[in-house]
Amino acid sequence: MPQKLVIEAINDALREEMRRDETVFCIGQDIGAGGGVFLVTQGLQNEFGPDRVIDSPLAESAIIGVSIGAAANGMRPVAEMQFFDYILPAMEQIANEAAKMRWRSFNTWGVPMVMRAPTGGGVTGGIYHSQSLEAMFTNIPGLKVVLPATPYDAKGLLKAAIRDPDPVLYLEHKKTYRSIRGEVPDGDYVVPIGKAEVKRTGNNLTIVTWGLMVHYALDAAAQLEQEGISIEVVDLRTLLPVDNETILESVKKTGKALVVYEANRTGGFGGEIASTIAEFAFEHLDGPVTRLASPDIPAMPWNHPQEAFFMLSPEKIAAAARKLAAY
């Protein structure tokens, strides 16, 4: 099976969906001839032309607003936010219009729109290019939020998102773009939205996480295996609707849960996971449900040692897991 980078898997998914369905189009800043700031859409305008790969003005509310209108009228827009940090000017369109359209119209109108946004830090991106804002969107029912960690999931989930009848926020961890390579089968397949995956099985402790942290958790689990600690890693893949069944099944087996997320600790989506575990797996718990997250500091520092302090790492995850396993 061919090995691909995450960024190649996303590009393949866009290309294949645009070939399959001519209502699919892309819109975003510099995504045409420029191929986007990360080159995710490289080559698409050559194949599909400027009417289907549209360079937009520097106005996120317009990008999303246009996409909502198009989607409501039968198109399948894929809107690119240059960085997840920049999505905030479009918040009103997303939260008040896109997410509520189906409900408000008594199931008459839908918004089959995908919003792609590069999330996360660890690339010395500093304040404006590093945030993990997923919890702001998981609190908006009507949206779907996915965050693949591997090339396989990236391609399959993007296809599922494009074919979904409702708005999907598709988050891409920018550090995985060119650092994570994996097997991706040729041809068409989808990864269903709403299904987590156990990326590693173990017995002593469950790590629940998503995005880049899946890879850090797998690294930590490999370290801890040398010490005789057996870790199960659950990759959520979809945050909204979250797959509680898989989480609870794992935690009931291991009795211990470490929830790892790159966002700031307070109010992060991991708090929701921890709360669900405490409520529904209570009688199976053999230790405190523990969160490991970035500190509540306003922004990711650009200064490299400070960024290392801020960001989670396989070593920090291993230390937290070691401590919980010993409880």
Partner 1 sequence: MPYSFILPPLAETTAEGTVGRWQKQPGDRVKRYEPLVDIMTDKVNVEMTSPVTGVISEINAPEGVVVPVGGVLATIIEDDEGSTPPAHGAPAPQAAAPDVEATHASPLHPSATIAPARSEGRQRMTPVVARLALEHGVDVSQIGGSGIEGRVTKQDILDFVESRAARPAAVAVTAPVAAPLAAPGSRAQPSITPGADEEALPLSPVRRAIAEHMSNSKATIPHAWTMVEVDVSLLVRLRERLKEDFRKREGVDLTYLPFVMKVLAETLKEFPLLNSSWGGDKIILKKRINLGIAVNRGEDLIVPVIKDADRLSVAGLAHGIADLVARARANTLSPADISGGTFTMNNTGALGVTLSYPIVYPGQAAILTSEAIIKRAVVVDDAIAIRSIMNMCLSFDHRILDGGISGGFMRAMKARVEKLGPDTAIY
Are residues 166 and 111 in contact, defined by beta-carbon separation less than 8 angstroms? yes
Q: How many CB atoms lie within 10 A of CB 46?
A: 11
Q: Which is nearer to partner 1, 30 or 249 (CB)?
A: 249
In the bound complex, what is the minimum distance in angstroms from residue 224's beta carbon to partner 1? Answer: 9
Q: Which is nearer to partner 1, 105 or 266 (CB)?
A: 266
Q: 231 - beta bridge partners?
A: 205
Are residues 212 and 254 in contact, defined by beta-carbon separation less than 8 angstroms? no
Give residue 124's region: left, alpha or beta (phi > 0; psi -120 to 50).
left
Are residues 173 and 10 in contact, defined by beta-carbon separation less than 8 angstroms? no
Are residues 249 and 208 in contact, defined by beta-carbon separation less than 8 angstroms? no
Q: Which is nearer to partner 1, 239 or 293 (CB)?
A: 293
Q: Which is nearer to partner 1, 53 or 292 (CB)?
A: 292
Catalytic hit among 129, 215, 284, 304 = 129
In the bound complex, what is the minimum distance in angstroms from residue 174's beta carbon to partner 1? Answer: 23
**CA 165 to each of CA 3, 102, 217, 243: distance values in angstroms, whole numbers, following the listed order:** 31, 10, 33, 20
In the bound complex, what is the minimum distance in angstroms from residue 282's beta carbon to partner 1? Answer: 5
Tokens 């045409």 sit at which residue?
Answer: 32
Q: Which is nearer to partner 1, 87 or 292 (CB)?
A: 292
Q: Tell me the pairing of strands 181-183 and 197-200.
A: unpaired
- Residue 324, token pair as written in the block: 């919980």
In the bound complex, what is the minimum distance in angstroms from residue 300's beta carbon to partner 1? Answer: 14
Q: Which of 217, 220, 202, 306 shows the shortest CA–CA distance to 259?
A: 217
Are residues 100 and 48 in contact, defined by beta-carbon separation less than 8 angstroms? no
* Interface positions with partner 1 (CB under 8 A): 226-227, 255, 265-266, 282-288, 290-292, 295-296, 309, 313, 315-316, 318-320, 322-323, 326-327
In the bound complex, what is the minimum distance in angstroms from residue 277's beta carbon to partner 1? Answer: 11
Q: Is 129 among the catalytic positions?
A: yes
Residues that are catalytic: 129
